[in-house]
Amino acid sequence: MSLTVVGSIAYDAVTTPFGERERMLGGAATHFALAASFFDEVRVIGPVGEDFDAESWEILGTRGIATDDVERVAGGKTFFWKGEYSTNLNSRETHITDLNVFEHFEPKLSDAARACDVLFLANIQPDLQRGVREQCASARFVAMDSMDLWITIARPSLIETIRSVDCLILNDEELELLTEMPNFVSAAREVLTWGPSAVIAKQGKYGAALFTRDGYFALPAFPLEDVIDPTGAGDTFAGGFVGYIAAHPEHPIDHDLLVRAMVYGTALASFNVEAFGTERVAELSPEEITGRVGELQRMTTFAHEPITLRS
């Protein structure tokens, strides 16, 4: 089976309290693909410029990621983002956003990309997401991300796109903004009435929560003393989550499967933030991932022993 992702491929300049990188491979599709490639064959759709170098092609090809749908725009420059994180990493300031080849990006899908079993629409303009979604008509699971910008300036299109997918993965505050609900619980349940059968509220360093029509599951983030660079954590989570589903083509996409997918997404995201950009996930081993999943289980499991309460 195969997994297609459409989204940004970028060069990032990032400063955190723990160091900086002048120019490193980044972008939502990149982070997603690296994480998802542990689970299934991944095909990336997104534009790069003539400046996209051999080292970047090599990283983007990790574990057999198919890059032949990556569009190299003649005379163009790769999307560039420069940002700086606050001391506690709770906020970040964008210094530069050069859209470059991303400004006029129109996703072109090969037959192989269109024939995907599972599709992830990373954060791009919602009309473009919907166009890709419609081309991948046979996908058995479609998930998407978005951001506050599109909620604000392209809300009707975004909602139409959300109606067409199986799963929305969004930051909890963006869910509140999108639905105008006062908390992420009511916000996520509202989105379930629009069409998607699953909604994930990402909560940054606190973890993530899954809402389906059959239930609720929440998983705290893996506790890390040294978070080096949070860039791409959400896309890496999505890569682990969607990748896990892609790896189980025979399994119905029910609450139980989505729960287990959440755990792999959480594990992958925790590695991503341990180093700058793709540095940690590109070097990761399967054993490290399964080890961390086991640790997450130990850190969240409790016995429910009967107790007589006073009345």
The answer to the question of residue 224 lying near a second copy (CB under 8 A) is: yes
42 versus 132: smaller Cβ distance to a second copy: 42
Residues of this chain, 21-60, that bind a second copy according to CB under 8 A: 37-40
| Residues in CB range of 107: below 8 A, 6 or more apart | 6, 45, 46, 128, 131, 132
The answer to the question of residue 215 lying near a second copy (CB under 8 A) is: yes
Beta strand extents in 141-244 (DSSP E only)? 141-144, 167-171, 198-202, 207-212, 215-220
Please answer whether residues 293 and 263 qualify as being in contact, where contact means their C-beta atoms are separated by less than 8 angstroms: yes
Q: Which range binds a second copy by CB under 8 A, 53-61, 139-147, 157-165, 215-223?
A: 215-223
Q: What residues are paired with 202 via a beta bridge? A: 171, 208
| Residues in CB range of 259: below 8 A, 6 or more apart | 210, 217
| Residues in CB range of 108: below 8 A, 6 or more apart | 45, 69, 71
The tokens describing 179, both together, are 């639905």
Please answer whether residues 78 and 97 qualify as being in contact, where contact means their C-beta atoms are separated by less than 8 angstroms: no
13 versus 185: smaller Cβ distance to a second copy: 185
74 versus 309: smaller Cβ distance to a second copy: 309
Shortest Cβ 172–a second copy spacing (Å): 9
Say if strands 118-121 and 92-98 run parallel, antiparallel, or are unpaired.
unpaired
The answer to the question of residue 120 lying near a second copy (CB under 8 A) is: no
Residues of this chain, 191-210, that bind a second copy according to CB under 8 A: 203, 205-207, 209
Residues of this chain, 134-173, that bind a second copy according to CB under 8 A: none
Ramachandran region, residue 63 (left: φ > 0; alpha: ψ -120 to 50; beta: rest): left
The answer to the question of residue 68 lying near a second copy (CB under 8 A) is: no
132 versus 221: smaller Cβ distance to a second copy: 221
Residues of this chain, 264-303, that bind a second copy according to CB under 8 A: 264, 285-286, 289-290, 293-294, 297-303
Compute how many residues bind a second copy; rule: CB under 8 A: 62
| Per-residue x/- track, 89-118, a second copy (CB under 8 A) | x-----------------------------
Contacting residue, 87, 91, 94, 138, with a second copy by CB under 8 A:
87
Q: What residues are paired with 16 via a beta bridge? A: 19
The answer to the question of residue 242 lying near a second copy (CB under 8 A) is: no
| 172-205 per-residue burial string, b: 16 or more CB within 10 A, e: under 16 | bebbbbbbebeebbebbebbeebebbbbbbbbbb
Shortest Cβ 102–a second copy spacing (Å): 29
- Footprint of a second copy on this chain (CB under 8 A)? 17, 37-40, 63-64, 87-89, 176, 182-186, 189, 203, 205-207, 209, 215-220, 223-227, 244, 247, 256, 259-260, 262-264, 285-286, 289-290, 293-294, 297-311
